[in-house]
Structure formats: C-alpha cells, structure tokens
Chains A and B, each alone.
Chain A
C-alpha cells in the first residue's frame, strides 16, 4: 500500500510525473504479475503491460481513494485476462508445472532475493492447485490486497460466496501443507 501520500502520487502520475508513476509501478506491477501468473500463466508479462497501457490511458479520469484505485486496476487486469482466455481457450487456472517455477534468476540478483523469489513462486504454485474460484479469491484478497466487497464485485459474486471460497481455499491449503509435512506435523495438528 502506498498510504497517505496516495492522492498526491496519483495526481502527479496522472500529470506525467515519472517519479510518482514509479511509486505506482513499484506497488502494483509485482501484484499484477503474481495475479496473472495464477490466472493466465504464460502471458503474465504481456497482460500486465496491456493493463498498464489501459490504466495510463484513463488514469487522469480516475476518481477515488487507494482501495478504489487498486480495485479499478484489478478490474482492468481481469478483463485483460478474460480476453486472453477467449483468445487461447485455455483453462483460467492451471496447475503450474514444477519445472516452470524455477526460471533462472538474473545473474546480478543477490542470493536472498533469489530465495525470496523462489519462495513466492512456490507459494503461488501451491495456491494455483486450488479450484479456480478459491485460488483467484485468495490471490485477490492477499496479493491484490482487495476487500471482500471489492473481490465480490470483481468476480461477479456475492460477498458471502467470496468468504466461502477463501475459507475453503485456506482449509484446503492447510490440509495440503499438513500432508506435505508428514506424520510429525499431522500429530502436531
């Protein structure tokens, strides 16, 4: 989250201020990529770029606070993903192949960053094994940082349905992680 400076950052970015735009980029681009890696694997970078183009084209007309801005950005993102699904006729959420999760890091990455990146990829890969609605609801809540009401509007569902989806998804993740930990962890449960 950008926080209290968000209104000034947004106004400046809409006016073409590149430093302010950089603040938006730093906050939103990783979230967009992680969302797209879940719902449109293989097209994350392209779809994120398309989302930014659409956002930049209308940013001067946006009115609202940071939460509303984030919801607006992810609404654009979901539309881009839906167009991509139509184009490719692929399933919206696919299990990411384990081999696809360990792309070689850039050579100048510090080791800690590499480990962190791998851990983020592994986390998203596990979330991606959930049923599509559960996975998307969890990523929109956690990664995009949206509230239940915003996720419900975005996914065209009722807030209670979103709560049920996230609830079931969390339980299923706990079951899978517990199973992965083996008998010792299961005893602890």
Chain B
C-alpha cells in the first residue's frame, strides 16, 4: 500500500462536511429581523441588507403619507354627531 493509497483511505474516513449555507436563517434571527431588533451592522453576513431594507419599510412617514387627515376627521365628526343623536332607551 503506497502513500497515495494511505492518503485516500484517510480522506474517506473524514466525516462529510457540506459547505455551510451562507444564508442560513434560524427562527431567532428571522424573528429579530421581522421585529426590527437587528440593526444592519449587527446582522450576520447576507442579512445586513435585509435588515436595512426592512428598516426602510418602516421608516417615519412622509408628509404625503399623512395627507388626507381632514377628510377622515370630517368622517369622525359625522359619526360622532350621529352617535350623539341616537336617543337613549327610556327608563321604565
């Protein structure tokens, strides 16, 4: 048995170790990303951009997003008037 055969036998005895998944995502990491508990600089490789993306999705509202409040207030006023106009049931 030559040196090459010995080396081959050693290789065969080594446990099979597949490449680690570079985007492995366990439940804890997923929850922290979804909850916004992970800053991009704290996120593991591959998920820093995802953390930044999710943070952008919940960025403070722009003025345009808060427009339309007056129409909603008008609806609230009308609903409040209508509720107050409903007579209470008469006491017996």
* Chain A residues within 8 Å of B, Cβ to Cβ: 13, 15-16, 18, 21-22, 25-26, 29-30, 33-34, 45, 48-49, 52-53, 56-57, 59-60, 105-106, 108-109, 113-114, 116-117, 119-120, 122-124, 126-127, 138-139, 141-143, 163, 166-167, 170-171, 173-175, 177-178, 181, 185, 188-189
- A166 B34 Cβ-Cβ under 8 A: yes
A167 to B30, CA, bound (A): 6
Contacts of B47 in A (CB 8 A): 170, 174
Chain B residue with the shortest CB-CB distance to A167: B30
- B69 A25 Cβ-Cβ under 8 A: yes
A15 to B84, CA, bound (A): 9
- A126 B25 Cβ-Cβ under 8 A: no
Name the distance in Å between A187's Cβ and chain B's nearest Cβ.
10
Name the distance in Å between A89's Cβ and chain B's nearest Cβ.
27
Name the distance in Å between B16's Cβ and chain A's nearest Cβ.
22
A76 to B40, CA, bound (A): 33
- B68 A29 Cβ-Cβ under 8 A: yes
Q: Which residue of the partner chain, among B23, B58, B66, contacts A142 with CB atoms under 8 Å? A: B58
Q: Is the interface of B mostly helix, strand, loop or mixed?
A: helix
- A170 B30 Cβ-Cβ under 8 A: yes
Given the interface contacts A29-B66, A30-B65, A142-B58, does A189 sit within 8 Å of B23 by beta carbon? yes
- B34 A138 Cβ-Cβ under 8 A: yes
A55 to B76, CA, bound (A): 10
Q: Which residue of the partner chain, among A33, A126, A163, A173, contacts B65 with CB atoms under 8 Å? A: A33
Q: Which residue of the partner chain, among A30, A52, A175, contacts B23 with CB atoms under 8 Å? A: A175
B41-85 interface mask toward A, CB cutoff 8 Å, 1 = contact, 0 = none?
A: 000011101100110111111111110110111011101100100
Contacts of A25 in B (CB 8 A): 66, 69, 72
Given the interface contacts A119-B59, A141-B34, A167-B30, does A49 sit within 8 Å of B79 by beta carbon? no
Contacts of A59 in B (CB 8 A): 79
A34 to B58, CA, bound (A): 9
- A171 B25 Cβ-Cβ under 8 A: yes
Chain A residue with the shortest CB-CB distance to B29: A170
B2 at the interface (CB under 8 A from A): no
Chain A residue with the shortest CB-CB distance to B83: A60
A175 to B50, CA, bound (A): 9
Contacts of A166 in B (CB 8 A): 30, 34
Chain A residue with the shortest CB-CB distance to B56: A123
Can you list 13 contacts pairing A with B, beta carbon distance less than 8 Å?
A: A33-B65, A49-B68, A49-B72, A56-B72, A59-B79, A105-B62, A109-B63, A113-B63, A116-B56, A142-B57, A173-B50, A174-B49, A189-B22
